[in-house]
């Protein structure tokens, strides 16, 4: 019998991270800003691994930019989607 491990990426495309997994101030978010409805939906998928970051975003992401106090994190050009990455959701938040 073959066994498969299905995984997925946490992408900064669209609203996957900001406005999806992480949305401080939303009535569905916990005290850390994580959307409880989205986290519950992810649990139901029973994925053994979720990679962060995922997709094109990984090409210019440096894990240390997402560590430490948010107000001290650097904003960087986000080259895949031509925006600015604030690093308000970063390595620390993903590991949490």
Give the pLDDT of residue 30: 96
Give the pLDDT of residue 4: 63
The residue among 4, 3, 10 whose CA lies nearest residue 58 is: 10
Residue 4 lies in a domain: no
Euclidean distance between CA atoms 29 and 80, whole angstroms? 27
Residue 28 lies in a domain: yes
Residues of the chain by 3-state class (helix, strand, coil), percent to 5:
30, 25, 50
Q: Which domain holds residue 16?
A: 9-95
Q: Against a cut of 0.85, is the pTM above it?
A: no
Provide the domain count of the chain: 1
pLDDT along the chain (96 residues), means of 10: 66 78 95 95 85 80 93 89 88 91
């Amino acid at each position: 019998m073959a066994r498969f491990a299905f995984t997925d990426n946490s992408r900064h495309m669209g609203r996957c991270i900001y406005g999806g997994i992480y949305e401080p101030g939303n009535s569905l978010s916990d005290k850390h800003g994580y959307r409880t409805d989205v986290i519950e939906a992810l649990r139901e998928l029973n994925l053994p691994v979720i990679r962060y970051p995922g997709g094109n975003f990984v090409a210019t992401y440096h894990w240390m930019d997402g560590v430490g106090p948010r107000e001290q994190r650097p904003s960087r050009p986000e080259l895949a989607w031509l925006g600015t990455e604030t690093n308000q959701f970063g390595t620390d938040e993903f590991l949490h």
